[in-house]
Amino acid sequence: MLDFLLYVQTDRAVTQRICTALAEQQLIQRWDITVQVETGETKVEGLYQIDEAAMNALPAEAFVALRQVGALQTAYCQLLSMQHLKTLDQLAHAHEETTQPPQNLLSDELDFELLNDGGTISFGP
């Protein structure tokens, strides 16, 4: 347990260093997205993204500084992950459909007649 907590603390420090470096270069911006739900559209707030245009416009020294703290991998991973937002939405809808019971299953569609004959299945006349 102690090893795990040390790992989490170390990882947290690295993440904080990376986020600080990206923020200092003003590369982090709000990312408000809209998703389709049963009742219509809803906004998802509290997300952030890398400003790719601002990153491409960085001077060489700033770019090198980001590379030295390991921030470039995080920035590029975030930019690449944005293309999967539509897939994530489709998976969420598929999960929603599979966790809900069927709505159109009528009891008269089911044939429980075999239960009236003592539970014995007969294939003869």
Is the model more confident about 88 or about 106?
A: 88
Is the model more confident about 26 or about 114?
A: 26
Tell me the pLDDT of the chain averaged across its residues: 83
- Alpha carbon 44 to its chain centroid, in Å, reads 12
Tokens, residue 102: 């069927």
Q: How far apart are CA 33 and CA 52, in angstroms?
A: 17
| pLDDT score, position 83 | 87
Tens-place pLDDT, residues 67-103: 999 999 999 999 999 888 888 777 877 777 777 666 6
Res. 34 pLDDT band, cuts 50 70 90: confident
Tens-place pLDDT, residues 1-19: 888 888 888 889 999 999 9
Residue with tokens 């906004």: 43
Structural domain spans, the chain: 2-96
Tokens, residue 76: 């590029």
| pLDDT score, position 93 | 74
Is the model more confident about 85 or about 114?
A: 85
| pLDDT score, position 8 | 86
Tens-place pLDDT, residues 43-61: 888 889 999 999 999 999 9
